[in-house]
Chain A
Amino acid sequence: MTTLALLKIAVYFLLVLAVTKPLGLHMRRVFSGERTFLDPVAGPLERLVYRLGGVDPKKEQGWRAYASSLLVFSVLGVLGLYAFERLQHLLPLNPDRLPAVPPALAWNTAVSFVTNTNWQAYAGEATMSHLTQMAALALHNFLSAAAGIAIAVAVIRGISRAGSKTIGSFWVDLTRATLYVLLPISLVAAVVLTSQGVVQSFSPAVEVTTLDGATQKVPLGPVASQEAIKELGTNGGGFFNANSAHPFENPTPATNLLEMLLVFAIPAGLTYTLGSMTGKTRHGWAVFWAMGLLFLFGAGVTAYSETRGNPIHQAAGVDAAAGNMEGKEVRFGPGDTALFATITTAASCGAVNGMHDSFTPLGGLVPLVNIQLGEVVFGGVGAGLYGVFVFVVLSVFIAGLMVGRTPEYLGKKIEGPDVKLAMLAVLILTFCILVGTAAGVATKAGLAGITNPGPHGLSQVLYGFTSAAGNNGSAFAGLGANSGFYNVLLGVAMFFGRFLMIVPILGMAGSLAAKKRLAESAGTFPVDGPLFTVLLAGVILVVGALTFFPALSLGPIVEHLLMVSGRTF
């Protein structure tokens, strides 16, 4: 069982490897304004969008303008989505006659989708109308993903340009990311998903009479179109409460594999885009492999732990052969579920095909750590690349001094202001996670949400704030997060985790773009090859994870030790 699970990881990784270059190359073409095979269809559409939007595609922006466009666009997105949710009962395509979404939940959900978090404090099938799902929530699946890609591309431009005041146009990057990358792939993927049983319907729920003679309501909706972009855009917001564990979202092992591939496709491809646009393909691959190493390690641990199962239950008489099946679907089993969980938390996707809350402690530790690392193990679309950029800068800075030169990254000196911005990005994540969790376990309102006592309760709260700050969206879903306390605080964490990260990162991009490029020599710090790969992975682990070690040791780590000794709470 465990061996088979490890084999799945290996084969999946090879598939990711296979799509990295073609997709990365395509994205380079798209964002360098080169011709692509999609031009005949997407070209006219693109020009139409510019005309309707009033965008001058030739006008580039400096980092401040780029960031303010992004912020204004996002804030208006939050407001629009909030309004949509509050007014859904008055709008069409609400066949199940769902009422308006309550204010705190609407705020939480609006921030959640615009920040690409897709934290869901609600059950989709019972809360959101079809129109809200597809025209408001799925819209932001596209836009938040496109914004993420745009930022990543702006960062890449910052690295590859020298003496430049601009880093591209946010509007153009947003539009091209949507029209040339997200929409075409989603369309194809959605059709494939439909063929496997993922529903795409505008009908109300169907009432059936079961074999027992009881009545069961089977909810329908435009699921496939949302499912495709939810994975591709690493959004993760499920149409249904059970997310990708729901058979209508993810009916077969084949759809499961496709969805897993969709999650990593763009983040992995962007590493190639990075290499290609900077003219340092080997650097792109070095980053890819650093991510790959961390992914393979994490996936291995999760798969091992989940296939081994829960000794407490096994002692009670549950067959150990199938591993830990609580919260898992039979069609996926512990192997595919562990892999899915590792992928979705490594990326900032947050889709789940099994319940993380019911994972074994170590199986749940890996997703938690994946997010705490800043989701840089491939990471969210764009977010992974610009997140790893922070660690690349820190690696180059810490180790770069060791070769006896002022640290430089691809010919750009890393100086005080760059380090300051990088540390700011690290600090924001740490602050939101640790202070939020501390507030959760130190207040009555916070403690009220905990549904699993003992160390697992700490893990639940920690996971919640980690997921929100990391814009992941997955959860130890037992946490009663649909309360004023959590809706507001987690909303704030999501907002900070997204925008307070993006601003310093765009600042770094702007700073690098303005710098002159230093000549390369034998004395230049090498950012390609296995040595850099190992260094980067090490810095990500040490700088990214050490901070959380105390919290983790009181959560999943001690829980694992307790589980082995048979303690329950």
Chain B
Amino acid sequence: MTRNALVSLRLLVVFTVLTGLVYPAAVWAIGRVAFPRAASGSLVTHEGRLVGSELIGQAVTSPGLFRPRPSAAGSGYDGFASGGSNLGPTSKALADRVAAELARSRAENPAAKGPVPADAATASGSGLDPHVSPAFALWQVPRVAQESGLPAADLEAMVARRTEGRFLGLFGEPRVNVLLLNLDVRARAPGAGANAGGGTP
């Protein structure tokens, strides 16, 4: 028993150093050299300011910009409270939230065509989903066009350009990065979202 304990302790120390320190440091070093941007958060700067990470969704309430999905991370897109709603399929709370979200979306997008896309009414698992479906992006185009003054056709083209396809044509789903899309909008219509304060999601 004592012998087991002694060997255990020594091996715990050895492996702590090897797999707990050396290994992550090695990955860090390689990442630093080979993929410095990806390894440090895929951060995006706009006009010399850090505006976010390409991979982390953020709340957008400003007029003239595309909206992300509802978020259950903290009070919405809280980087330190990632997570989903964890409401179950027969949850009345979820059904009510979905209904409210539907009503809100419709009210906000009176000119939108077709049914409300599923991702518009549902919260993501991470609460930080950086994407919306192409359907949801296109659904918002009439409102964004009206608010930003950009022609709907241009916006649709932007959405198409920002649409990423499936991996190997099979895995994953087509998606549009909301931050990058909004930066495109901002580039064409500098006024969009400029004066809005941090609002509720």
Same complex for A and B? Answer yes
B91 adjacent to A134 (CB under 8 Å): no
In the docked arrangement, what's the CA distance between A196 and B38, Å? 6
In residues 63-87 of chain B, which contact A (Cβ within 8 Å)? 65, 69, 73, 77-87
For A332, give its contact among B40, B92, B172 (CB under 8 Å): B172
For B193, give its contact among A187, A212, A353, A559 (CB under 8 Å): A212
The interface residues of chain A lying within 8 Å CB-to-CB of B130 are 247
- Of A156-164, A218-226, A544-552, which stretch is located at the interface? A218-226
Q: Does B152 contact A (CB under 8 A)?
A: no
B interface residues, how many (CB within 8 angstroms): 108
The interface residues of chain A lying within 8 Å CB-to-CB of B60 are 210-212
Shortest CB-to-CB span from B13 to chain A, Å, is 8
Shortest CB-to-CB span from A547 to chain B, Å, is 24
A248 adjacent to B85 (CB under 8 Å): no
B79 adjacent to A336 (CB under 8 Å): no
Shortest CB-to-CB span from B144 to chain A, Å, is 13
In the docked arrangement, what's the CA distance between A54 and B8, Å? 10
In the docked arrangement, what's the CA distance between A183 and B20, Å? 11
A215 adjacent to B119 (CB under 8 Å): no
For A213, give its contact among B18, B121, B171, B198 (CB under 8 Å): B198
Shortest CB-to-CB span from B5 to chain A, Å, is 5
Q: Does A25 contact B (CB under 8 A)?
A: no
A559 adjacent to B172 (CB under 8 Å): no
The interface residues of chain B lying within 8 Å CB-to-CB of A213 are 62, 196-198
A134 adjacent to B84 (CB under 8 Å): no
Q: Does A321 contact B (CB under 8 A)?
A: yes
Contacts between chains A and B (CB distance < 8 A), count: 418
In the docked arrangement, what's the CA distance between A153 and B122, Å? 45
For B116, give its contact among A200, A319, A335 (CB under 8 Å): A319
Q: Does A87 contact B (CB under 8 A)?
A: no
Residue of B nearest to A479 (CB): B86
A248 adjacent to B41 (CB under 8 Å): yes
In the docked arrangement, what's the CA distance between A54 and B193, Å? 65
Q: Does B107 contact A (CB under 8 A)?
A: no
B53 adjacent to A218 (CB under 8 Å): yes
A contact residues, range:
35 or more
In residues 111-130 of chain B, which contact A (Cβ within 8 Å)? 114-119, 121-130
Shortest CB-to-CB span from B70 to chain A, Å, is 10
In the docked arrangement, what's the CA distance between A354 and B124, Å? 8
B23 adjacent to A183 (CB under 8 Å): yes
For A216, give its contact among B18, B26, B52, B170 (CB under 8 Å): B52
Q: Does A32 contact B (CB under 8 A)?
A: no
A569 adjacent to B4 (CB under 8 Å): no
Q: Does A465 contact B (CB under 8 A)?
A: no
- Of A100-108, A357-365, A433-441, A500-508, which stretch is located at the interface? A357-365
Shortest CB-to-CB span from A215 to chain B, Å, is 7
B90 adjacent to A210 (CB under 8 Å): no
Shortest CB-to-CB span from A287 to chain B, Å, is 28
Q: Known contacts being A195-B38, A212-B196, A325-B119, is A224 close to B31, with CB within 8 Å?
A: yes
Residue of B nearest to A215 (CB): B198
The interface residues of chain A lying within 8 Å CB-to-CB of B92 are 453, 568-569
In residues 147-201 of chain B, which contact A (Cβ within 8 Å)? 164, 166-167, 170-173, 175, 179, 182-183, 186, 193, 196-199
The interface residues of chain A lying within 8 Å CB-to-CB of B87 are 326, 357-358, 451-452, 478
A329 adjacent to B86 (CB under 8 Å): no
Shortest CB-to-CB span from B160 to chain A, Å, is 16
A199 adjacent to B39 (CB under 8 Å): yes
For A326, give its contact among B15, B123, B170, B197 (CB under 8 Å): B123
**6 A-B residue pairings within 8 Å (CB atoms):** A208-B52, A214-B59, A225-B23, A318-B98, A358-B89, A364-B89
Q: What would 20 more interface pairs be, CB under 8 Å, given A194-B38, A316-B102?
A: A72-B5, A72-B8, A73-B11, A135-B16, A143-B19, A197-B55, A198-B38, A210-B60, A212-B198, A218-B56, A220-B41, A247-B53, A321-B118, A330-B69, A331-B172, A358-B94, A360-B89, A452-B91, A478-B87, A569-B90
Instruction: State the 7 A-B residue pairs at the shortest beta-carbon distance, nearest first.
Output: A253-B172, A214-B198, A478-B86, A245-B125, A135-B20, A333-B173, A242-B82
List chain B positions with a Cβ less than 8 A from chain A: 1, 4-16, 18-21, 23-24, 26-28, 30-31, 34-35, 38-43, 49-62, 65, 69, 73, 77-92, 94-95, 98-99, 102, 114-119, 121-133, 135, 164, 166-167, 170-173, 175, 179, 182-183, 186, 193, 196-199
